[in-house]
Structure 1
Amino acid sequence: MPAPQTAPVVADLRRARGAAALAFATQGLVFISLTTRLPRFSDRWDLSELELSLVLLMIVLLAGVGSVVSEVVAKRASSATVLRVGLLVIAAAVPVAAAAPSVPVFVVALAAYGVGLGVVDAASNMQAVAVEHRYGRPILPSFHGAWTFGGILGATYALAAAHAPLWTAGLVAVVPLGALLAAYLPREHGEAVTAAEHTDVPWRPIVLVGLGMVLFYMVDTASQTWGPTYLDETVDAPHALVALATLPYLVASLVLRLAGDSLVSRYGATLVLRVGAVVASLSLLVVVTAQTWPVAVLGFTLLGAGVSVIAPLSFSAAARIAGGDQARVDAVIARFNQFNYVGGLLGAVLTGLVGAGSLRLGFAVPMVLILAMLPLARAFAPAGARSARTPG
């Protein structure tokens, strides 16, 4: 039971919650602004699906590097400092990628963006779990809902600017610059991670939860990176409407994330995740068999509802299992964030490589693999709930 807090402390905590939500929304806005324009970037630089897959592989691998850097730095500096550095890197890289005069400049800018992506991913989730801990109740779904809201804004901007020059995609850089000024949660004085604390972390149950996050990001990244291309090339959607692979997906995801806390409280994480996995697999079946673009859009929309709460429940469960002070949890969350990029590899790269001849086949991969959430969902239940159902 959290100790009573004074009014100034409560106000500071609310500001920190708003700041963390802004960081999530910023990340979603920038990421979706870029991914919904992938068909245009591909056309501009005459990239094949294989070449585009390699570019995505580079971004995912460098995002993993950024997350590792966050883990190292977070042992000595606060996650607030790490987050501001990542936002600055993104703000510098995105306009360069959007207005690049040549392929090498474009690739280098995306490489820098990949590192910044990993830093912001890890640090924003560090902030989120720290704020949730001080609130004393589950609020992670609302943070990931903020990411989704930012993504909706990014997809809406892409639709509105479908015929604008491609360099205008870089205008979103003003958002991470503004987010630098937010009042992020500082680390309490004297907190630091020790080697003993780090080795005592119960990694086995955390890895089980992490596998669930791999499955989420496999589906999520496949949808957001290849969905617009799927509409463009496989089901012949009008070029100006390819962002509809992403926008309804995000809207459905936002609705379910906003309802996530109450759904989990009422039915439990295990049941919610299992139902979502079945919905996600059936939704991808609709995408894979769609003969017209409106049917494909319907499939992507249902998919957003099916997988929406996996990521926030993953981070919340990992932080709960890790235990300890904020510095220890920061280090665990930074490492746990690596599961994000394993899923990204499966979603963005494997979907593209398997689907090099036909993206229908590419989307069949996550359609089957997401069903692994059915046995994994049990690992998300609190320890008391699991032990109550486990003989002996």
Structure 2
Amino acid sequence: MPTLNKTWTAASGMPPSVTTDRDLARLRAALTVFFALDGFVFAGWVARIPEIKEQTGASEGALGLALLCVSAGAAATMMATGRLCRRFGSHTTTVAAAALFALSVALPPLTHSVLALGLVLLVFGTGFGGLNVAMNSAAVDLIAALRRPIMPSFHAAFSLGGVIGAGLGGLIADHLSPVRHLALLAAVGLVLTVVAGRALISLPAPAPKQKTPKQKTTEQKAPKQKTTETPSTSPERPKAARRLVAVFGLIALCTAYGEGAMADWAALHLHQDLDASAGLAAAGYSVFALAMTVGRLSGTALVERLGRTRTLVLGGSTASAGMLLGSLAPTIWAALLGFAVTGLGLANIFPVAIARAGALTGPGGVAAASTLGYVGMLLGPPTIGFLADWLSLSAALTTVAALAAVSAVIAYGTRNAARATGS
């Protein structure tokens, strides 16, 4: 029988926690599956956007409004999901949201008008937003237990799922209709939810790793400063933590705007502006997602080596340069190179920002930062769509580079406040 910790975990509100190494490994594996499922299903939907656009007869502006519903559904759900995680636990909430997300991906190809597409994308966005908050909250608990910055590895699984989903979408785009493709995707998603969900629900949220006797002895020998409040008792700490959560949410906003833009518009940019075939256009998001996967697989080592602030600054700067190339390049291959550089730059910004928010205030921090992050996705589709109608799609995509640069500036400007709160 596993050893139970008799304390409640701050981030999930769950009862006694399993802390054995074997159970922590099982928990990490189950969460990895859910992150991969998230990217796999979402990328499969993205690969069929051009055909669904034609099916509904939507203009670029109208498609932007319909795509807005994904982000609207996600943003409207996220804060409520934080409360559900505290009430029912992040593990149960993750499984329920994943089931809704997998089922709803089969709905978009059944629509034949922009209005109907927008309505079903609200449902799709609800599942997507709920799953992201719940599984990230569960990941924050695991990070606290392991005391390692492993959040990028989970988001690497998301990106790898995106690579597989987009790659399969490109391969079968000429052989399967969107209806059959996305119905198959829904079935695969449900199977993965059942398999990984059984393991996840069977394991309570882990408690943070206890301090070693050596650490306790060192703390006991350290002199106490009676005239200075400790971080745990200072009334300013909760306010400072909430302000930092908002800042990390703003950083997430800037980068989620870019990720959403690549998901929604990369294929259309290659197909429409650079005359790429349907299969090659679908590969645009695959290249981006593959680069993000590579960046995130090395993310834990990068954060441990450079620190969180430098990782954020370097990532934002790299993504800005890459997206300028990707959006303005005159050839398909140069654009794909730009997409790859953008993926490397954006790779670790969102996971680091969300992990830092969760470390500060638990599921509430994850929900708040994620909600602000998905405001970026909320603004991205219509903004790029309207700018594309007014100027051009390539010019509209340069806004991704601008916001990536803004995220780097914000991260650098908050380095001292983040250090003071221990985030």
- The normalised TM-score by structure 2 is 0.81
91-100 or 329-338, larger mean C-alpha shift: 91-100
Sort the Cα spacing of 1:331 and 1:166 in 2 relative to 1 into closer, same or farther, 3 A: same
Matched, 1:310 2:328: no
Q: Distance in 1 between matches of 2:121 and 2:407?
A: 32
Which structure 2 residues correspond to residues 11-160 of structure 1 after superposition, within 5 A?
A: 11-100=22-111, 105-160=116-171
Matched, 1:319 2:358: yes
Q: Distance in 2 between matches of 1:287 and 1:208?
A: 28
Q: Distance in 1 between matches of 2:413 and 2:317?
A: 17
User: Which amino acid letter does the alignment assign opposite residue 227 of structure 1?
Assistant: A
Sort the Cα spacing of 1:321 and 1:366 in 2 relative to 1 into closer, same or farther, 3 A: same
Contact 2:46 2:263 in 1 (8 A): yes
Counterpart position of 1:346: 379
Counterpart position of 1:192: none
Matched, 1:271 2:271: no
Aligned-pair distance for 1:379?
A: 6.3
Which structure 2 residues correspond to residues 231-250 of structure 1 after superposition, within 5 A?
A: 231-250=270-289
Counterpart position of 1:293: 332
Any unmatched runs of 5+ in structure 2?
Answer: 6-16, 208-234
Contact 2:323 2:398 in 1 (8 A): yes
Aligned-pair distance for 1:263?
A: 1.4
Q: Distance in 1 between matches of 2:330 and 2:18?
A: 58
Aligned-pair distance for 1:382?
A: 8.4
User: Residues 173-232 of structure 1, C-alpha deviation per residue, up to 9 Å, x if partnerless?
Assistant: 12331223422242479xxxxxxx9x9462111111111111110111111111111011
Sort the Cα spacing of 1:205 and 1:156 in 2 relative to 1 into closer, same or farther, 3 A: same
Q: Distance in 2 between matches of 1:175 and 1:13?
A: 26
Q: Distance in 2 between matches of 1:4 and 1:188?
A: 9
Q: Distance in 2 between matches of 1:379 and 1:350?
A: 27
Matched, 1:253 2:292: yes
Which structure 2 residues correspond to residues 180-219 of structure 1 after superposition, within 5 A?
A: 180-182=194-196, 183-184=199-200, 185-187=203-205, 200=238, 202-219=241-258
Sort the Cα spacing of 1:384 and 1:155 in 2 relative to 1 into closer, same or farther, 3 A: closer
226-235 or 349-358, larger mean C-alpha shift: 349-358
Equivalent residue in structure 2 for 1:377, among 391, 394, 411:
411
CA RMSD of aligned residues (A): 2.7
- The normalised TM-score by structure 1 is 0.88
Name the SS of the counterpart of 1:180 in structure 2.
helix
Any unmatched runs of 5+ in structure 1?
Answer: 190-196, 323-328
Contact 2:245 2:368 in 1 (8 A): no
Q: Distance in 2 between matches of 1:260 and 1:89?
A: 30
Contact 1:277 1:307 in 2 (8 A): yes
Matched, 1:173 2:173: no
Structure whose alpha-carbon radius of gyration is higher: 2
Counterpart position of 1:224: 263
User: Which amino acid letter does the alignment assign opposite residue 186 of structure 1?
Assistant: P
Contact 1:218 1:346 in 2 (8 A): yes
Name the SS of the counterpart of 1:355 in structure 2.
helix
Count residues in correspondence: 372
User: Which amino acid letter does the alignment assign opposite residue 412 of structure 2?
Assistant: R
User: Residues 272-300 of structure 1, C-alpha deviation per residue, up to 9 Å, x if partnerless?
Assistant: 32222222111111123211212111111
Name the SS of the counterpart of 2:204 in structure 1.
coil
Name the SS of the counterpart of 1:47 in structure 2.
coil
Contact 1:222 1:348 in 2 (8 A): yes
Percent identity for Structure 1 against Structure 2: 28
Contact 1:141 1:313 in 2 (8 A): yes
96-105 or 140-149, larger mean C-alpha shift: 96-105
